[in-house]
Amino acid sequence: MKLLLTEHTEKLIEQGRATSAAQLEGQEEPDHMPVVKLFTPDANCTWLISELDPDDPDLAFGLCDLGFGCPELGSVRISEIEGLRGAFGLPPERDRHFRPQRSLSAYADLARANGRIVA
């Protein structure tokens, strides 16, 4: 399964551009809705990705949960996620049924309270 479809990539880059523009103008960064949820079916890892760096589309920003009980906001390379394999050798997948219900910061608050991403 392809992790990011063309429409995902376009939206993620658009949101990345909005963040970059806000940073350049010294304004508060937007609190984007995540665009995709990625997960490992056999390794307890989950990512809610909200943007891609427009200058380096392999570099994503989102809420990352590696299954250790301490999800955090940060950057991750899509190529690194694609290269991961869990205990049974299964590759990461995109949750085709994920529809964001809140902003990334709201998901982060909820994840910190629960020790894992709840989406």
Q: Quick check: pTM over 0.75?
A: yes
pLDDT of 102 higher than 80: yes
Share of the chain above pLDDT 70, in %: 100
Going by pLDDT thresholds of 50, 70 and 90, the confidence category of residue 1 is confident
Compute the mean pLDDT over every residue in the chain, rounded to the nearest whole number: 97
CB 57 within 8 A of CB 46: no
CB 92 within 8 A of CB 79: no
State pLDDT tens for residues 20-56.
Answer: 999 999 999 999 999 999 999 999 999 999 999 999 9
State pLDDT tens for residues 8-18.
Answer: 999 999 999 99
**End-to-end Cα spacing for the chain:** 20
Share of the chain above pLDDT 90, in %: 98
